[in-house]
Structures are given as structure tokens and as C-alpha cells.
Structure 1
Amino acid sequence: MASTTHAAEPPPALRIGTAGWSLPRQSWPAFPAEGTHLQRYAGVFGMAEIDTSFYRPHQPKTYARWGESTPDHFRFSVKLPREITHDRALADVEQPLAAFLGQVEALGPRLGCLLVQLAPSLAFEAATVDAFLNLLRRQYPGLVALEPRHASWFGREAHALLAAHRVGRVLADPVREAGGESPGGWRGLAYLRLHGSPRTYYSGYSVDGLADWARLLRRYRDEGAECWCVFDNTAAGHAVPDALALQALLSKS
């Protein structure tokens, strides 16, 4: 009887990048010399987080242009508009959510994840969250990462509800609430947003700190999670150098 061999399953994706794709001049030598900032950025990193969608809508043709500017393997994470997450606090959002999804679908296969960042004042309320996620899941089957910033989101009930909807809870640094030291919700996604510590948005990470993040990401990937790590410490230009350093550390694994 002929033996049957099975190819090993590829490991889950591990994507490193930054919020936006601005390239500080001191980092230019690490990137291709030709092309737009996005094309040069995508020559090195495998993802970028679009944060500007939180503040204002972008036309589908803009998303389409961004998608067409990047290689096949590249993926975008797109933040939901503040009208949905902050102004309406996830309730009565059918129209703005449909409008947003109609815009971002122009990214085509480059749309990799949606980011739902909540207001610090927004407490967990199961019925509202369940209704919102049911609405979202009827229209969008892909990866979703949710970044809560109120202590009530880090208990068992919120964790279980997010898991039931296949939504990963973001690990955000600096950690502000007990229970936020690791990703939560659905275990198929580990989404890290590194805002800089100790000074949020400004501080860079030490060599030892980046090594710690690399160890965590390897662990989450080994446990079967698709991993996204976004540096949002952009205010003083640390995001790109930190992402390059972390990517170099992970390339050795």
C-alpha cells in the first residue's frame, strides 16, 4: 500500500508594521529608494494600519489605489470611524457601518483586519456589544480586533462574547487595566498595538523590550494565532525604527 504524506501546515501569519506608512528620513536607507511612501514601506513591511479612517471617510477609489500600490502578500488593518465607536457607542450604527464597509471593500484582498478602538468611557454592556457584533458579522467575515479601554471589558463575560464572534481583544501597551497583559477573546488572532512606554505615542522601546515582544509573538503564533503587531509610537518618529528592529529579531526565529 502506498504511503500517504501530508505537507506540514504553514505557520500562521505574523505581520509587523506601523500606524500609517510615513517614513522618517533617518530610516530611508532601510527602504527601496523609488516609489511612493506606501510603495517603499510595503517593500519592507507586510501590513499597515489605516488610522485616518477614524477621523474622516475615504473614497473607495482611494482605498483601491492603496491596495493596488502594494504587493499581493500585503494587508491593511482599517480603524472603524469614531461615529460608530465613540459618538454612537456601537448602537444604532447600521447606516454608518454599511457606508464604511462599502468604502473599505475597495481594498479587495488587501483588506486584512478591522480595528474597533473604543472610547475609554465606554463600559461593556453585553446586549449592545452582541447586537453590534452580530450586525458586523452579517456583513464582514474577516479578522476583527477590538481595543477596549474601560476596565469592565477585561472580565470573563466580555472575553466569552468576543470569542463567540471570533473577535480578538487587542493587547495595548502601556497596559492600563488588570487583565490587559495578554490578548483576549478569540484565540485565532493576537493583535498588539504598541503605543510607546512610558510616554504614550512618544517613547521608543528598548532592545530588551523589543526582545520581550518578539518572544510573546512567537508564543502566540506557536499557539495557532495569526499575529499582528502595530507600532503606534509615531509622535517622535520611533514607530518605524522599532518595527524594523522587531522584524529583524523575528527573522532570526
Structure 2
Amino acid sequence: MGDIKVGTASWTDRTLLDSGWYPPEVTSAEQRLGYYAGQFPLVEVDATYYAPPNEQTTRLWAQRTPPAFTFNVKAFSLLTGHPTKVSALPKDLRPDTGKPNVYPHDLSSAAYDEVWSRFLSALDPLAEAGKIGSLLFQFPPWFTIRRSNRQTLLEVASRCKPLRVAVEFRHASWFDGDNRDETLEFLRTHDLPYVVVDMPQGHRSSVPPVVEATSDLALVRFHGHSERWTSKDIHEKFGYLYSSAELSDWAPKLRALAASTSQTHVLMNNCYSDYAQRNAAELIDLLSGEDS
């Protein structure tokens, strides 16, 4: 069985800081990351979806974590085709528009390429330290299965090389009927890690939890099963604490997935209070056999 790393999609969420998960003496950014890295071997950087990182910050992340620690970095929203706040763009690359949000087509090709370049170059300190597991590209609900979108996946992977791109879909068309096998085979052919998701079903963005590996790296993201999945309040959307029974049901599935890969990354994205940290710790115990 390949190595399984378990972590969470945040270490700085305000509700986490208020939850008491960090000891009282852990108060600075450096102390918090150091404490987190002492509990888990993996973290997903979610803040990079909302604004590109800067190199000084990523250098500090690399310096403040152990040699074997791994960061998965979520791609900036503009690079996945999501609406992006103009204010999130570097000032010199902002288009002259009265709109609060923009899409890739609102930028010149040169400006769009420069956003890509700056996003990737800001990750150099983490890459040089060997601490990037993958770049998470979570595509929007309107990113459906079609030839042009498959080509987009290849272009994204090409831009990011030698960094690994992991692909998360948010439209069920990729898995409808025969499309399921076609999608997985496409990802395998191009050595693109597929992101398994556990999430509420029956919504526009819902995809089924297809537990498959398409590369030597597999990823699983647990979004929870909040009854308020469509809420614009992110804490209502992800405020779900998995039960022990739910996690116990997933443990053998994760072991089976890891048996077909070199490495499996499991991220708890139910980031409200210390829910993700509690569930991640419990899942580590389950996978290690302590509670089997």
C-alpha cells in the first residue's frame, strides 16, 4: 500500500483560531504553522484561490515546516475560470472595467499569461524545498465534459510543469454513463491525478464519490454533508462534523485506493471550528489501525 498523508484545508481559519485547538501559548503565524505541522504531514493552502501568494510568504512556509511536510496549493480562481475580484489581481494587471469580477477573457492574453507566470513563480521557494505535492485545480460547475475542456486540462498541466496538477470536477457530466470511464481513462493517459470528492449530492455542483486513481498520486477531499451546501456563508456550507461511523466507512476505501498508488493525499475541507482537525486526527487513527 502506498503512503497516505492526511491533513486539512486550512490552518488559519478564524473559527479554528477561536475553537481552542491551538494551545494558548501558540499565538503567532510561525507558531501556528509549526504546531500544525507537528500534528499533520500535509496541508492544503486554500487562500491562494482568493488571491495569488507572494514569494516572501511561501518562503516562510517552507522554512517553518519539517523537511517531509507537504503543501497542496489551490489554484487562483482566475486560472480555473471562476469569477475573480478585480481587487485580487496585481494592480498593474487589472483591466479597465467597472465590473467587480472578471474572467480570463476580460484580460489581454499578455496580462493573463503574466498572472500565470507570477502565480507559479511565487511558489518557487516551496518547489525548491520539495514541499509541493500538487496544484489543485477545482473547476467551476459550468466546466462540463467536452473536447475544449479536455484540452484546457492539458494546457493547464503544460503551464504548470514540472509541478503536478490535480483535477477536481464540479459537474456530473464527467461521470454520467459511459463518460465516467472515458474521463478516468483520459486522466490516466495524461498522468493527471484525479481528485475524489465526498460532498452533498443533488446540487448543481454535485459529483459522485468515484473512488479511483488515475496517477501515482491520488487525492481525496472531504467537503462534508451540510444541509446548507448552497449557502453563501462558507462556514454554513462547510460546517459539518463527520461521525466516527462515516469515517470508519471511508477507511477501507482509502486503503484500497492507496494500494493502487504511490501516494494518497486526504484533505478534510469541512473547515469550521476545529471540525477538520478533529476528523483528520480520527481518520489517521483509523488508517493506522488503532481503532480497527
- TM-score with structure 1 setting the length: 0.84
Cα distance in structure 2, aligned partners of 1:182 and 1:104: 30
The residue type equivalent to 2:289 in the other structure is K
Number of corresponding residues:
241
The residue type equivalent to 1:144 in the other structure is V
Structure 2, unpaired ranges of 5+: 83-102, 228-236
Cα distance in structure 2, aligned partners of 1:183 and 1:60: 35
Structure 1, unpaired ranges of 5+: 1-10
Cα distance in structure 2, aligned partners of 1:221 and 1:132: 24
State yes or no: 1:95 paired with 2:123.
no
State yes or no: 1:148 paired with 2:169.
yes
The residue type equivalent to 1:197 in the other structure is H
Residue in 2 aligned with 1:176? Answer: 201
- Candidates 222, 225, 244, aligned match of 1:194: 222
Identity over aligned residues, as a percent?
Answer: 29
State yes or no: 1:14 paired with 2:30.
no
C-alpha contact (below 8 Å) 1:51/1:79 kept by paired residues: yes
Cα distance in structure 2, aligned partners of 1:131 and 1:120: 15
Q: How far did 1:172 drift?
A: 1.3
- Candidates 62, 70, 74, aligned match of 1:75: 70
1:84-163 correspondence to structure 2 within 5 Å: 84-85=79-80, 86=82, 87-88=103-104, 94-108=113-127, 109-137=130-158, 139-154=160-175, 155=179, 156-163=181-188
C-alpha contact (below 8 Å) 1:162/1:185 kept by paired residues: no
Map Cα deviations across residues 182-224 of structure 1 (whole Å, 9 max, x no partner).
Answer: 2446142321111112444111111111112221111111223
Distance 1:130 1:42, change over 3 A: same
Ranked by relative contact order (alpha carbons within 8 Å, sequence separation 6 or more), the top structure is: 2
Cα distance in structure 1, aligned partners of 2:104 and 2:70: 28
SS in 2 for 1:27: coil
SS in 2 for 1:62: helix
Distance 1:160 1:185, change over 3 A: farther
State yes or no: 1:217 paired with 2:254.
yes
SS in 2 for 1:113: strand
- RMSD value over aligned CA atoms? 2.8
Residue in 2 aligned with 1:27? Answer: 21
Distance 1:164 1:174, change over 3 A: same
SS in 1 for 2:270: coil
Cα distance in structure 2, aligned partners of 1:52 and 1:123: 25
The residue type equivalent to 1:37 in the other structure is R
Q: Which moved more, 1:155-164 or 1:227-236?
A: 155-164
C-alpha contact (below 8 Å) 1:188/1:224 kept by paired residues: yes
Distance 1:137 1:126, change over 3 A: same
Distance 1:80 1:135, change over 3 A: closer
SS in 1 for 2:261: coil
Cα distance in structure 1, aligned partners of 2:115 and 2:143: 19
The residue type equivalent to 2:123 in the other structure is V
Distance 1:121 1:169, change over 3 A: same
- TM-score with structure 2 setting the length: 0.73
Q: How far did 1:239 drift?
A: 0.6
Runs of 4+ residues deviating >6 angstroms: 31-34
Q: Which moved more, 1:120-129 or 1:98-107?
A: 120-129
The residue type equivalent to 1:195 in the other structure is H
SS in 1 for 2:183: helix
Residue in 1 aligned with 2:269? Answer: 232
SS in 2 for 1:168: coil
